[in-house]
Chains A and B, each alone.
Chain A
C-alpha cells in the first residue's frame, strides 16, 4: 500500500472522498438555511425540525400511501414547503418587525414542539427506511468501496445546489428577490409583491430541508432528534460561509465536510467540535464570513 510520511495514502483518499460526500450533504442542508437566514434575515431554528419532518414524511408516505422514494423526493419537499409557507404566514409574519430574537425563539419553540410531538407519536428510537433498489450496491474504487447511494447524494446535491444558485444569482427572479430583501419599499413601488415573494422564498428554503430529509432517510437514523443534531453544525457552516452568500454556503458545506472527515481520521474525538473551531477563527479574522459581503 502506498504510504507518505507514515500515512496510508489509500486510507487518506477514502477519507477525503467520504468528506466530500458529507460535504455535499452539508451543502444541501445549508442551502435552505442560507436562503432564509442570508436573504430573508430570519433565524429559522425550525430548519432542523423541517429536515426531520422531511425524513418522517418520506417514511409515512411509503408506509401509509405506498409512495416510493423517487416520488417522495418530489412530493415531500412540496408538502414540507407548504408547512413552511403556513408557518411564515401565520406565525413569523406577525412578528416580522420585531427584533430578530423573537423569530429565533418562535422557531426554536416550533422545533421543540415538533420534536416532542414526533417522539410522542413515533417514539425516540426512529423508523427503518430501506435504500431504494436502484441505488443498492456500489462501485469498487482502487482505494475504497463507494456505495451507489452516496454517489447519488453527491449528484443530487450538485444538481439542486447548482440550480438554486443559478436561479438566485443569475435570473431576473433572483434579482427581484435580492433587491426585495435589500429594499422592500422601493421594490414594492416598482409593483413587485414583496410579502408574497418572501413567503414563497421561505417556503422554498424550508422545502429544501424537506428534500434533504428524504435524501437522509435511507442512510441515517430517521428519528425525532436527527434535525437538532445537525442544525447547529449547519448554522455554523452558514456563518462561516458568510451571510447572504448562496455560493459561499455551498462551498463552505463542501469544505467543512472535508475538514470534518480528516478530523475523524486523525483525531475522531474532536470531530464534533472542529467546525465550531473553524467558525471562531473565521469570525475573528473575517467577521462577515469567508464569502460574506460587508455591505
Chain B
C-alpha cells in the first residue's frame, strides 16, 4: 500500500507540475493571391478573432468577386494556439513554401510580434486585425505592417480621458500581470496624468485569476474614484462581477480598458450595465454596420466583434490595392494601400498612415442595462464618436516609411 501511494503521489505531482522563396513571374505571383488567416481557433480569444476572422475574410473575398486581376483568391487558415513559436512557424511555412502573400487575423500580441518578424523578413504583408499592442506601428514598426481595428493607446485615450475630465481624478489599476496589461496600464497612466488626475494604487494580478475579491477590497480601501481594469477577456468579466458583488460599483466607477462585444455579452447586465468603454466598431451603429453584421451573423452564428469587422474591412482594402497597383508585389500594394483612403461601413473618416496605423473613428459606448435591451445582441449605447486623430497617438518620425 505504501509503495502504491508513493507512486500515485509521484505521478500526480509530476503531472500537476507539468501542466502548470519562390520565383515571381507576371503581375500576380504564382497565378493566385493567397491570404493566410492566423488566429486563435479554440483558446480564450477564439470568440474575438478565431473562426469568426476566417469567416470575415472569406466574406471579403467573396464580396470582392473571388478573383483579382483575373487570378483566383485563396484563403487558408491555421490555429496559433496562442503560442508565438507555433504561430511564427506556421507563417514561415506559408510564406516560404505555400505562396501566401499576406496574413490576416492576428490576435494575441505575443504571437503577432513573432509572426510580423517572419513576414517582414520575407517582405509579406501583415494584416493585423485584433492585436492590442501599439508596438506594431511604434517600437516594432515595419513597412509591411498594417494595424487596423484599434490599439491600447486608442482604448486609453477613448475611455480614460472623458472620465478624468468629468472630474474623477483618483485612479486605481487592476492590471493583468503580463506585457499587454503593463502596456495598457502605462498608456492609461499617461493619459490620467496629462489630464490632471493621479494614480492612487494598483495591483498586478496573474493572468487567469479566478477570484478578484482580494483586489477589489484593496481598490475599495484606496479611496479611488475610478477602478480601471487593464486586463481582457475572462479576467475582465471576473473582476467586474466581483466589483459589483462587493459594492465597489456603487462607490466608484469601473472602467474596462479593453472589452470586446462577446465579453460584454458574458456579463450580467445587472452588474455591467452603465459601464463605459471604447470600441473600434459596433454592429448596431447605423444601417451600413447592421447590414454587414446581419450577413456575418447568418454565417457565424454571433454578432461580430470589432476584430471581425476590421478583418473584413482591411482584406477588402488589401484586394482593392492589388487591383489598383496591378500586381500583388508587397511594396507596390503597401504603397497603394497607404495612398487610397479606406472607406466602408467600418473605416469612417479613415486614413492608413505611413507607419501602417489605420486611423479611424472610434466609439465611446456604454453597456446597456437589462431594461434598455431589446434582445441579447443589443448591448451598447453609443455615447460619442471619437475622431481618429484624438484617439490615436501621433506617428513616430522613425516609422514614416514613405518619407525614408
Contact = CB atoms under 8 A, between A and B. Distances in A.
Interface of A: 8, 10-11, 14-15, 18-19, 21-22, 25, 37, 41, 43, 45, 100-101, 104, 108, 116, 119-120, 123-131, 138, 144-145, 147, 149-150, 182, 219-223, 225-226, 229-230, 232, 235-236, 239, 243-244, 261, 264-265, 268-269, 271-272, 276, 279, 283, 287-288, 292, 294-295
A60 B322 CA distance: 48
Interface in B1-34: 1-2, 4-9, 11-13, 15-17, 19-20
Given A125-B265, A239-B12, 15 more contacts: A22-B213, A101-B11, A124-B43, A126-B234, A128-B268, A145-B220, A147-B245, A219-B241, A221-B241, A223-B237, A225-B234, A239-B13, A268-B177, A268-B206, A295-B2
Nearest to B262: A125
B266 interface: yes
Contact of A131 (B8, B204, B234, B245): B245
A294 B210 contact: no
Contacts of A123: 46-47, 262, 302
B215 A264 contact: yes
Contact of B266 (A101, A221, A230): A221
Contacts of B7: 100
A41 B208 contact: no
Bin chain B's interface residue count: 35 or more
A295 B5 CA distance: 9
Contacts of B45: 124
Interface of B: 1-2, 4-9, 11-13, 15-17, 19-20, 42-48, 50, 177, 203-206, 208-211, 213-215, 217-218, 220-221, 233-234, 237-238, 241-242, 245-247, 260, 262-263, 265-270, 302
Contacts of B262: 123-125
B4 A41 contact: yes
A19 B246 CA distance: 14
Contacts of A244: 5
A127 B74 CA distance: 35
A230 B238 CA distance: 14
B268 A18 contact: no
9 tightest Cβ-Cβ pairs between the two chains A and B: A264-B214, A272-B206, A125-B262, A124-B46, A221-B237, A126-B266, A128-B268, A123-B47, A125-B47
Of the candidates B8, B19, B234, B270, the one having the most CB atoms from chain A within 10 angstroms of its own CB is B234
Contacts of B234: 125-126, 221, 223, 225-226
